[in-house]
Structure 1
């Protein structure tokens, strides 16, 4: 635990954004080399290491992500980020440290493995499609199934959510460019106000979830910004609306995208302005394969009891994960592991006050060892 904790806190002090994880990759690769575990670069800053590589048995992959977020840290921890405006606000430092703790344990018990085990240290999960690029560079070659996890402060510590089927939503972003006719604030009749139109578009987009989709369908449309810089006496020429969608499937994505376009353009026309719609798909929903999800739950319960499965959390949660790319290629499962404890561990992911709960490292190391059929560590041995 102490070694993995130190490893995690070192990564935390030196966070790196997606596709910039050069120091992180160096630290990981040096550690793997010290353990005499063969590895190869994958998708530039990513790394794939393999234990028991020549076995003909079932090949399992375990994944940990590495990238940080553009957030200024306010946790006050001794190991706080030394990089201005960048921090590990989602716990990817902890995910990488847990995978390294697993590497350490599995290397010392390699002869107990029934088949090859690949350790996937992945860059650029936070919107950078890192999993897609790892797959393109061969990270899943020869792999039969894959498992991953994410710490989740909203779940009580030690419980997990790992349903059969969907666990996290798909997502996308939209950008609406509203162009009117700017002019003097004292002569609104000579202008076509893009701010007024943007405000109406924002309100009208709310009818998509409230009135155009069934209430049973898990979906979100959120306007997250309206940008129309101007002076106090100037009606601007342009306003730009930004937003995000969360969807459970492609059919819902297509329907929402169509409605965003229809509502935005028709509302703009009614205000005498134009609206250009740009919609960018990001990640698909993360959908577990039933057999692998059941096995992950059974492994967790074997160590932590039948009450260790979280049943109160509504799924899918509306956050998204590029682990979905792996699950569209091969069977596997993804779990949300409860990190929530009183006090500091109550902060959600992406908060400037967040810090990963180090007590999760031995628990998930134990889970990973059980999933690959290795000799099991004690919870304090990671």
Structure 2
């Protein structure tokens, strides 16, 4: 097939696949139909594949020559969001939407599989394709790592379509790229009572409010101002029912109160410092207000770290395909998180951000927004980057 014909086919195929997955989203760990469709597409290409766990699909493309093994990863899960984008290919599933671009990632990796199959003679080694479930839950990468399926990889590439980068550009950084998220929950227990006799009760709303205000000062007062640390309190409630509201009734002194939040850092030292400080603060609240407390604190995934050598190869591939102007110089590392970090601990890895923003075509909304969308040209760019990076890596590292 001529390059021009292949390019046209890949572009049309990528958009078609993306729209199929967008209309039929599935939540993490439940991507059964998504996995079946991926397997069906791989069968049409004659590519061997296997299931890992319930919905992870891993396939292998063997080149004409022996060499190293490079992995390419795409996440396949959707989010519990009611779509309001209004596009013709809007989600058919109530309350579930691809609001983070994973439909585009899946389509791009399937497109890359078609490219690599057509260019097998250029592959000096083996390419392993990882269609990963449950990224949004932070579970899919752990499952694949735990299965041993990446033990033989020499390197791994992941991509994320990113609306903070202009369409037609890629951001490829070296070193720390995405933060490690901590989930924390604090519950307070006092003694409920009547609003007219607060002296007979032990209020939990006032100490919870004090905690909220003091937690905000932790980052500014307890951390090096040059540290990359973000703290957010996302949920509070009081009373016996875990509802997103404060208080059971206007004349009831609440005997229970609760908050949930997240901390984002890039290193274990900052995470441990925060844990120590928040524990000290909670104990102080106990003494000051006479309440009992419980603290839950968990690091969900580590930080994403891009291997410098892979990042260098990635930049060379990007320039080779689209020229120096295609490299985004502005994004830098971000405080979002990705369970791709689990792979970074196991093998040299790299996450590349593919631009999805094109304001002249469509209004740009944030990831996880009910109106989220991206320029579908990003699918084609991601597909060719996946494929060419794999070929370049194997040719360069196999020497």
1:265 matched to 2:283: yes
Aligned mate of 2:144, from 134, 141, 147: 134
Q: Which residue of 1 aligns with 2:117?
A: 107
1:329 matched to 2:339: no
1:188 matched to 2:198: yes
Provide the TM-score with structure 2 as the length reference.
0.90
Q: Which residue of 1 aligns with 2:303?
A: 285
Q: Which residue of 1 aligns with 2:6?
A: none
Q: Which residue of 1 aligns with 2:293?
A: 275
Aligned mate of 1:307, from 322, 325, 331: 325
Post-superposition Cα deviations, 1:237-259, rounded to whole Å, max 9, x if no partner, equal 10110001101011111111111
Is the Cα–Cα contact under 8 Å of residues 167 and 375 in structure 2 kept in the other structure? Answer: no
Counterpart Cα distance in 1 of 2:57 and 2:363: 30
Is the Cα–Cα contact under 8 Å of residues 18 and 128 in structure 1 kept in the other structure? Answer: no
Is the Cα–Cα contact under 8 Å of residues 63 and 119 in structure 1 kept in the other structure? Answer: yes
SS in 2 for 1:335: strand
Post-superposition Cα deviations, 1:243-282, rounded to whole Å, max 9, x if no partner, equal 0110101111111111122112212331221221001210
Post-superposition Cα deviations, 1:122-144, rounded to whole Å, max 9, x if no partner, equal 00000232111011112213211
Provide the TM-score with structure 1 as the length reference.
0.94
Shift of 1:234: 0.8
Counterpart Cα distance in 1 of 2:285 and 2:63: 59
Counterpart Cα distance in 1 of 2:385 and 2:193: 63
Counterpart Cα distance in 2 of 1:199 and 1:107: 59
Is the Cα–Cα contact under 8 Å of residues 47 and 60 in structure 2 kept in the other structure? Answer: yes
Structure 2: stretches of 5+ with no match in the other structure:
1-10, 240-247, 393-399
Aligned mate of 1:166, from 172, 176, 181: 176
Is the Cα–Cα contact under 8 Å of residues 173 and 281 in structure 1 kept in the other structure? Answer: yes
Counterpart Cα distance in 2 of 1:209 and 1:175: 17
Is the Cα–Cα contact under 8 Å of residues 194 and 238 in structure 1 kept in the other structure? Answer: yes
Q: Which residue of 1 aligns with 2:272?
A: 254
Q: Which residue of 1 aligns with 2:245?
A: none
Counterpart Cα distance in 1 of 2:278 and 2:322: 45
Aligned mate of 1:232, from 229, 234, 250: 250
Counterpart Cα distance in 2 of 1:114 and 1:334: 22
Structure 1: stretches of 5+ with no match in the other structure:
375-382
Query: Within 5 A, what are the aligned runs for 1:118-157?
Result: 118-157=128-167
> Please, what is the CA RMSD of the aligned residues?
1.4
List 4+ stretches of structure 1 deviating above 4 A: none
Counterpart Cα distance in 1 of 2:148 and 2:379: 28
Counterpart Cα distance in 1 of 2:230 and 2:340: 20
Post-superposition Cα deviations, 1:174-207, rounded to whole Å, max 9, x if no partner, equal 1101111111111122221111111100110112
Query: Within 5 A, what are the aligned runs for 1:1-382?
Result: 1-52=11-62, 55-229=65-239, 230-313=248-331, 315-342=332-359, 344-373=362-391
Shift of 1:54: 8.1
Post-superposition Cα deviations, 1:93-116, rounded to whole Å, max 9, x if no partner, equal 100000000011111221221110
Shift of 1:4: 1.6
Counterpart Cα distance in 1 of 2:66 and 2:387: 19
Counterpart Cα distance in 1 of 2:133 and 2:226: 35
Shift of 1:18: 0.7
